[in-house]
Amino acid sequence: MKTILVIEDHPEMRANITEILQLAPYQVLQAANGKQGVDLARRQRPDLILCDVMMPDLDGYGVLHIVSKDAELSGVPFIFLTAKVETTDFRFGMNLGADDYLTKPFDDVSLLNAVELRLKKGKQGQSMNISTQAQIKLGLAVQQLADARDQLCENFPSQEHKKKQVLFRAGNSPSSLYFIRRGQLKLFSTDRLGNSYITGLYGAGDFVGYQPLLAATAYKESAEVLDQAEVCVIPKADFLYLIQHNRPVATEFSRMLAQDLANSHDRLLKLAYQSVRQRTVDALLLVQRKFYADRPPVLTLTRESWSQLVGASIETVIRTLRDLQKAGLIDLTGSQVTLLDIDRLSRLNH
């Protein structure tokens, strides 16, 4: 069983982290301050250290400095726990040799993912928290090279996700960049009344979750699997290091952000000025282009997802789909929508 040292001066936070890790299950060592943490690490060498940054007497940076100079502990993966999200703080910690950053508040999934990833990777063969081979593959994959994208998950761990499984939730702090190797995802926002609206669709070859990583903010949207998916998980530290040191990668993600902004602006205009019928047609064509461009135009989404994509009630969307069926443009069979005449559908909104 792997042993994890948790150095955290807040008792409730320390107890909560410990409970989550023990359920995983890991053996957990606890220290209430930096001095205790260093002493405990030297007496019982852990497999990984989780350490708060802001602590009295000896802070997290001091702990990392001492640990990195100790021949017996220098190879132990080190993850900071912090409420600080400034880029300068992140860079300072990374330059000291930290492997990752978890920004408070974080959920149990983010914590366990970060721990699992670092235990798998360790430090052997890494250069500034990312191996040369992995750095090359990620950099090339971002630049739209198909062969590199195919091999990306050979260098970073991938996880299988079932339909309706949530990848991350709005309000949580991001810990990873996600790459979809197979399957379909939706990003959605929920208002105070519980109404949800799909803000983006993502499929094989897409990166998800980079906006809050770059902005150093919590997720503003949630991500849910539409179909069984295989998702490659790239630690935040590795992604941000590459952004800071690889100009083509930074340029490509800037392009993605600009395209996201343009798409959001276009969808807001349509939501404000188009009829439900027009928005329903747009939703059908969007799903067809995104997920079924090279396959027969038989679309499968839940009624809830169609409603969230169109921005109207389920009843209104179903009624509109039936009207399109009567017009001979589509066919409805359960949750499947078959596009019978894509050209005519395309002309409806022009």
Q: Average pLDDT for consecutive 10-residue bins of the chain (350 residues)? A: 95 94 94 95 94 90 91 88 66 71 82 84 47 60 62 76 93 89 93 89 92 90 93 84 76 86 86 90 93 85 92 94 94 90 84
Which SS3 state, helix, strand or coil, does residue 82 take? strand
Domain at 274-348: CATH architecture: Orthogonal Bundle (1.10)
DSSP for 228-248, please give it.
EEEEEEEEHHHHHHHHHH-HH
Where b means 16+ CB within 10 Å and e means fewer, 24-37 reads eebebbbbebbbbb
Retrieve residue 160's tokens: 């299988």
Strand 78-82 and strand 48-52: the pairing is parallel
pLDDT at 86: 56
Question: What radius of gyration, in Å, describes the C-alpha atoms of the chain?
Answer: 23
Domain at 130-264: CATH architecture: Sandwich (2.60)
pLDDT at 199: 92
**214-218: long-range contacts (C-beta < 8 A, 24 or more apart)?**
214/243, 214/253, 214/257, 216/85, 216/86, 216/87, 216/90, 216/103, 217/85, 218/170, 218/171, 218/172, 218/173, 218/174
- Measure the CA–CA gap between 285 and 253, rounded to whole angstroms: 26
- Measure the CA–CA gap between 164 and 195, rounded to whole angstroms: 17
Strand 196-202 and strand 176-190: the pairing is antiparallel
Per-domain boundaries in the chain:
3-124, 130-264, 274-348
- Measure the CA–CA gap between 186 and 286, rounded to whole angstroms: 13
DSSP for 272-298, please give it.
HHS-HHHHHHHHHHHHHHHH-TTS-SE
Strand 78-82 and strand 100-103: the pairing is parallel
Phi/psi of residue 120, nearest 5 degrees: -70, -40
Retrieve residue 208's tokens: 């998800």
If you classify domain 3-124 with CATH, what class do you get? alpha beta
**Residue 183: left (phi > 0), alpha (psi -120 to 50), or beta?**
left
Which SS3 state, helix, strand or coil, does residue 131 take? strand
Helices (H), 97-193: 108-121, 132-142, 146-151
Closest CA to 184 of 199, 169, 205, 170: 205
- Measure the CA–CA gap between 231 and 225, rounded to whole angstroms: 10
Residues 115, 177: contact at Cβ < 8 Å?
A: no
- Measure the CA–CA gap between 13 and 11, rounded to whole angstroms: 6
Which SS3 state, helix, strand or coil, does residue 167 take? strand
Phi/psi of residue 87, nearest 5 degrees: -60, -35
SS (H, E, C) 174-208: CCEEEEEEEEEEEEEEECCCCCEEEEEEECCCCEE
Phi/psi of residue 332, nearest 5 degrees: -110, 130
Retrieve residue 266's tokens: 């276009």
pLDDT at 36: 95
CA 216 from centre of chain: 13
Phi/psi of residue 163, nearest 5 degrees: -55, 135
